[in-house]
Structure 1
Amino acid sequence: MRRWLGIELIEVSVTEKTVSTLGGGLAILVLTAISTWALPAGGAACLITSMGASAVLLFGVPHGQLSQPWPVIAGHGISALIGVACAQLIDQPAIAAACAVGIAIGAMQQLKCIHPPGGATAFTAVMGGSAIHDLGFGFVLFPVLTNAVVMVLLAVLINYAFHWRRYPNAFHRVVHHPLPGSPPDDSLPTHEDIIAAIRSRDSFVDISEDELIELIELLRTHPGKAK
């Protein structure tokens, strides 16, 4: 049953949970203040749906591929653009919302910027009400892109204060330290090996190349615990 429900057994520390909780809350507080000040007619309340989801990823899973700057900024941006276009071109709200979310998913896959909260942004552009519709394509720049950039900057600053968190992943340098008697480094999978393996699944994998190699090395370091 656990396997079918997808229940993860790996437990993180209380410190990690606390950082995620406070970091995400602080980010939303700042974003809400900015949006309420600039868009007092209720737009902030609509936008929180997608930005709240982004906060979960950036502060709960900061090293995930879906949480990196390009997926966050481009994912929200292209989704907002598509959402506004669908809202203006399609009269039926339900059909417009369905088209907006569906096309946004395809566009994010094509541009390699898959960010699940982008679907909520596309949906908001269609169903967010007159406060959103009155902004037209200006909705893409503000509040969407502005808030996405602020969210990323906050994630960089907050996560950097903790040595085990590095956001974006480019700040996290994996240093390989082979143990005595361990297989040589050339036994590690190459970039081409990893790309070929992922492509063979024909499905998105939410883990970076460096993290995958690091996990392999950790398994070698703790073979008893890995069993």
Structure 2
Amino acid sequence: MSQSPFLHELRLLLGIERNTTRHGEKWISGVGAAIGILAVWWLTRWSLGDAATPAGVLMISSMGASAVLLFAVPHGALSQPWAVIGGHLVSAAIGVTCQRLLPGHAWTAALAVGLAVGAMYYLRCIHPPGGATALTAVIGGPDIHALGYHYLLVPVLVNVLAILAMAVAFNAAFAWRRYPAHLHRRQQPSRITQPAQRQFELTQEDFSAAMEQLNSYVDITTENLTELLELAKQHAERNITHPDAIVPGRYYSNGKLGRLWSVRQLQAGVAHVPGTGAGTAPLRYHVVAGDQAGQSGSSGADEFRQWARFEVVPQDNGRWVKAD
């Protein structure tokens, strides 16, 4: 599990985060996205008829991006119904307007996307695929241009309603994925614990465990963040801090959050057990994750034990969890 300082820094620069979702959830997301796009195509053709509109404008390419959000991140703020509906329709209207007023200019497409982003911000319906919808209105070619403002109805609105209907139906089959997010929150039991009952502060491992319990890659809303925080608090309360023995070869975490979090692996030596007098020589360790990853050092046994909040074990997906 050790990672060189260069690779660690490169991962941070590239923004490569560890994914906590299980394989089953990933497959569900992929299958849902495929079914969603099939539904958009079929429902659009069914509602309009085979000859009602050119085949090239039955479905806009930005539906592919919407499918990623609706089926891979169904509880994200960018995936909720108003974001999808408003984001696409507002952007489509802006794209058509720019094309009609300023046709043929190299900067028309850029203006359409920029205005669409600003409008989505102010109307609280930010949906990244909306930028592609605005862009398509400008660069989509003669068939799209000929539609004018009818583009908002066909294909945009029909596509949007079709993929939303499929997202509601598909995600309803999985209790933890109910869409919209409000339906998921309504069925959750209350997890609130009184502040007076709190015994331990939160740690990086608690957040990691809570993320796994949510089992979703979260483009987080305020409600989801609150739920995640509560799950992390409950996880913290189930664990005792500071290990009784420091054993060579095992991994220990300082239990901090963010940049201060660190995991050390104790190098070969004699186990230190408080009160026995064993293992009094300085302990050498290697930092395998978090702050100062890739570096080595040494400390006294008591100092190391006070630093070590608890023992952790590595998982195949790159996460660290508290040892049982």
Common fold by TM > 0.5: yes
| Structure 1 contact 104–118 (Cα < 8 Å) conserved | yes
Q: How does 1:138-153 map to 2 (within 5 A)?
A: 138-153=150-165
The count of corresponding residues between Structure 1 and Structure 2 is 205
CA pair 108-22 structure 1, distance change in 2 beyond 3 A? same
Amino acid at match of 1:183: R
Q: Which residue of 1 aligns with 2:138?
A: 126
Report whether the alignment pairs 1:6 with 2:15. yes
Report whether the alignment pairs 1:63 with 2:75. yes
d(CA) in 2 for partners of 1:151, 1:103: 25
Q: Find 2:221's aligned residue among 200, 208, 227.
A: 208
Name the stretch that deviates more: 21-30 or 169-178. Answer: 169-178
Q: Which residue of 2 aligns with 1:199?
A: none
Q: What TM-score do the two structures reach when normalised by structure 2?
A: 0.59
Task: Give per-residue Cα distances to partners, 1:169-215, cap 9 Å, x unaligned.
Answer: 1102243334587339xxxxxxxxxxxxxxxxxxxx94222211111
Q: Which residue of 1 aligns with 2:34?
A: 25
Question: Over alpha carbons, which structure has the higher Rg?
Answer: 2
Q: Secondary structure at the match of 1:172?
A: helix
Q: Which residue of 2 aligns with 1:108?
A: 120
| Structure 1 contact 64–208 (Cα < 8 Å) conserved | yes
Q: How does 1:136-175 map to 2 (within 5 A)?
A: 136-173=148-185, 174-175=188-189
| Structure 2 contact 44–162 (Cα < 8 Å) conserved | no
Q: What TM-score do the two structures reach when normalised by structure 1?
A: 0.83
| Structure 1 contact 182–220 (Cα < 8 Å) conserved | no
Q: How does 1:187-206 map to 2 (within 5 A)?
A: 206=219
CA pair 110-91 structure 1, distance change in 2 beyond 3 A? same
d(CA) in 2 for partners of 1:29, 1:40: 18
d(CA) in 2 for partners of 1:2, 1:27: 32
Q: Which residue of 2 aligns with 1:15?
A: 24
Structure 2 residues not aligned, in runs of 5+: 1-9, 200-217, 240-320
Structure number having the greater helix percentage: 1
Q: How does 1:37-76 map to 2 (within 5 A)?
A: 37=50, 38-44=52-58, 47=60, 49-76=61-88
Q: Find 1:177's aligned residue among 168, 183, 191.
A: 191
Q: Secondary structure at the match of 1:94?
A: coil
Q: Which residue of 2 aligns with 1:84?
A: 96
| Structure 2 contact 75–219 (Cα < 8 Å) conserved | no
Report whether the alignment pairs 1:117 with 2:132. no
Task: Give per-residue Cα distances to partners, 1:5-37, cap 9 Å, x unaligned.
Answer: 111202311221111111110110121234454
Sequence identity of aligned pairs in percent? 49
d(CA) in 1 for partners of 2:28, 2:103: 44
Amino acid at match of 1:182: Q
Structure 1 residues not aligned, in runs of 5+: 185-204
Task: Give per-residue Cα distances to partners, 1:129-158, cap 9 Å, x unaligned.
Answer: 111111110000111011111111110110
How far residue 226 of structure 1 moved from its aligned partner, in angstroms, is 8.0
